[in-house]
Structure 1
Amino acid sequence: MTDITIYHNPACGTSRNTLALIRNSGVEPTVILYLETPPNREQLKALISAMGIDARALLRNNVEPYEKLGLAEERFSDEQLIEAMLNYPILINRPIVVSPLGTRLCRPSEAVLDILPDAQQGEFRKEDGEKVIDKQGNRIV
């Protein structure tokens, strides 16, 4: 069984689509509801490092704490942005998927296909009806 973890927000359509694509590959991932069980500092830094991004690239900018904290200003260091995400987990963009093939912020949801070791098992459509996988389990480009 492939070991995959998703940092998931069930209220997010992109996160739901990503989880469904993982399951469409025949894997039941470990689901971490990161708003209820946020990563600690070491875990968050490890995720950022594994994705090869900086903290700002993981920061959600369309939620209320972002504006309130003035996080659009470039004066904040990665450490300060990480601290903000730890204090306000809603600032962590999602979904983040960890697989044997890598760690990725899966926006759009089909980005998860690049790090899934197992093939898709059948047709898949996003919640909005967009067809992503054909009946043979092949990615539609």
Structure 2
Amino acid sequence: MKIQGKMFIWLSVFILAMAILYGVWSKEPVGTTALFLAFGLSIMIGYYLAFTAKRVDAMAQDDKEADVADEAGELGFFAPHSWQPLSLAVGGALAFLSIAMGWWIMYFSAPLILVGLWGWVFEFYRGENQNQ
């Protein structure tokens, strides 16, 4: 994790230099603001990764002599198939469509979003995926 923190910090330095150069050269406020925001985001991620790397043990990616198989093993728990993201996607698409076409479409999108969100949050409390 040490290398990722360093990479993001160097990326943020590059983005800051480009933001200053772009702002001075173009005098265009929107792009300059976007670059400064990208700098802020990358410095936050870099600081978090560098801060976290001090508290965890060295991983295989920190060792220059490491092999690909050194980091093999269980990666964690991943949810099985779910239909809830489909409901959220359709509801979100209809919500954004309501901005362009008419706010009355929000009456159809809000229940889809709420059902999808409720189902996704409580996915492991009912049905075949219920934890004992």
Q: TM-score, normalised by structure 1?
A: 0.20
* Greater radius of gyration (CA): 2
Richer in helix (by share): 2
With a CA cutoff of 8 Å and minimum separation of 6, indicate the structure with the bigger relative contact order: 1
